Amino acid sequence: MNTADLDMWERVRRYAVPRSMIERAAERRAAGDWRGACEAAGIRVHLRLGRIRRNHGREIAEAVEEDLLHLVPDLVRWHLPRRRTAGRYGGRGLVDPYHQLALAAYPQDGARKSLWLSAPRPPRESWRLTLAFGGGVTNRDWSGLRCLWDDRRTAGLLALEGGRDRAPFFEPDGRVRDAGLLPRGDPGPADPAARAEWITLLQEQGRLDEAATAVAGLAGILAADVATAKGWFRAVPWAAHKLGPALVRLLEAEPSGRLRLGYSTDHHGPTVSLAEDGGLRFAEYDRRTPEVATAWWHASPDLALVRAGRLTPEDLHPLVSRTLFPARAVPEGPTGPRPPRPPVPAKIRCRGETHEVWFENGELRTPGHTAQERQREDALAAFGGTVTGCFAVPRVWDDVRNPVPRELQEQCEELFSRMEHGDAEGVLRMLELGHDPAARYAPPHVPHGEAPSGMYPRRANPFLPAPVPYRHLALADLLPMHLALHKWPPSFRPLAAALGVRPPLVRGPQGAGVRGQDGGGSSG
C-alpha cells in the first residue's frame, strides 16, 4: 500500500467512524434495539418486518430479524468501500456513492431476496446510508463476508486477512513482528500468516510476477494480453495471498462462471473466469458481469496502518482489534478512534527565537509580544511592509491561498474531515475546545496558489452560504465547510443552532434514500 493510500485510510480510520458512534451503537445493540443502533451509525432503516412477513412468509421474516439483531452497523461503516482517487468526491476517503451491498441473501421460489445497504449518489450526504430488504440489484455481494458485519462471525476476519493464530507481520498480542523472523523463502501452507508475509514482501519489492506465481491460479496474470488486467494489477492495493484463493472459490460458486474486478468506480478491472487447467482466464472489462467485493482482495488497511506506526491497535474498532490481535491485553479505558483534542500549539521562529501560537476560544493567540509590538507590526503592514514571525500567522490563517504552520494545518484538516464524514458531535467538540469556527480550507482540486484572487474571502463564517466568487468552482450549492458535501446534513442542524447561525437553503429533497421493495417507516 503506497503513501497516498495510507494517507487516505488513516483519515478514514480516524474520522469516518468516531468513537462516540461506536459506543452509542454498542449500547443500543446490547439493549436489543437494532433500529437504534442503525440510527446511531448513520443508517436509515427502510424495511418493515411485518410487511416482510406478509409478503415472504414467517420463515424469511424470522431469518431477517435474527440477522438484524446481530448486525453491527458501525462495523459495516468501518469496512465500507471508499473512493480512492482525487477529485470532488474522491481522495478524502468518503463512502463510495455508487455501491449497493447485499449483506445477506434469502432464497425463495428460485428468486433471491437480500438485506442490502446502499449509499446515496451525490449531491446527497455521502456518509448517510440506507438499509433495506428486497430483490433489487446489488453490485457487491457481502453474503459470504459476514465477518464484516455479523457479531457472530467477526472471528473470520483474521482468516480473511491470511492469519490463523496471528495476523501477518504481527505477534498475537499486536506487536509488529521482528524483521529477522519474517520468511526469506516460501514457508509452505502450514503457516498461513508466514506465507502471506512472504508473498506480501515479494509484492512490496516489486516482484509482482513472483508473488502471483506463488498463488494458485494467478501464475502469468501480469503477462496476460489484457490491458485492463495489466493496468488494474499495477494500480490498486491488491493482496495476492487473498485474491487467488478467493477468486477460485467465488468462481466455482458463480452460476455464470464469470466475475470482474474493480475498485469503487475509479478503476475498471478485468473480467475473470476459470480455465480448464484450474487457473484463471482474464478478459477485458464487462460491466454486465458481477463484481468481486473489495474485501476479498484488498490489502488490509488496518494491518497496514498499524504496521506503519500510524495507528495503534487501540485506535481500531474494538471488534477489529480483538479479532486481529487475539492475545492483546484488554485496555482498561475506552478504545477506538481518538476523540478531538485541545488545540496543539504551533512553534514559530520569530526574531531569532522559538515562540508558540495556538487557538483559544476560537481565536489565534500569539503571546510573547507586547501591545506596543503588535501596534508597530500593524502599522508596518498598513504601509505595505513585510510582516514575519508570530505576527504573520493570523494573516496567512485568514487567507487559504497562503501556507500555514503544519500544526495548524493538521487541526484544520481534522475539523474538515470530521465535517465531511458527518461527525457533527466531533466538530462541535472541537469548537468547544477552542478551534476556529471560521476556519477555511482550500478544495483539494484547487491547489494553493492556483485559485483566482478573491475566490476565498477572509474569515467568512463557514455556516453561511458561499459568496458569489465561489461559483467560479461551478459548485453553486457548495458551502465553505462542506467542500465534500453538496447538502446540509440534518445532524449538523443542532450544531448550527448552537453557533447561532441558520442552515442555508439548498436544492434537493430532504435526505432521500433508496427504498427497498419492503421499505417503509419504523414499525416492525
Residue spans per domain, the chain = 3-324, 348-446+472-496
Higher pLDDT, 423 or 474: 423
Query: In this structure, what C-alpha cell is assigned to residue 404?
Result: 500555514
Predicted pLDDT at 520: 53
Total-model pTM: 0.83
How far apart are the two ends of the chain, measured CA to CA in Å? 44
Q: What is the pLDDT of residues 67-117, one digit of tens each?
A: 999 999 999 999 998 877 654 444 578 887 777 899 999 988 778 899 999
pLDDT at 405 over 90: no
Cell numbers 440506507 correspond to: 130
Query: In this structure, what C-alpha cell is assigned to residue 329?
Result: 491485553
CA 14 – CA 6 distance, rounded (Å): 12
| Confidence class for position 264, pLDDT limits 50, 70, 90 | low
Predicted pLDDT at 253: 86
Instruction: Give the contacts of 159 (CB within 8 A, at least 6 positions apart).
Output: 192
Predicted pLDDT at 64: 96
CA 43 – CA 48 distance, rounded (Å): 15
Q: Please state the rounded mean pLDDT for residues 446-465.
A: 36
| Confidence class for position 221, pLDDT limits 50, 70, 90 | low
Q: Kindly report the average pLDDT of the chain as a whole number.
A: 78
Question: Which of 486, 483, 484 lies closest to 504, judged by CA?
Answer: 486
Q: Please state the rounded mean pLDDT for residues 136-140.
A: 72
pLDDT at 122 over 50: yes
Q: What is the pLDDT of residues 300-337, one digit of tens each?
A: 999 999 999 999 999 999 999 999 999 999 888 889 99
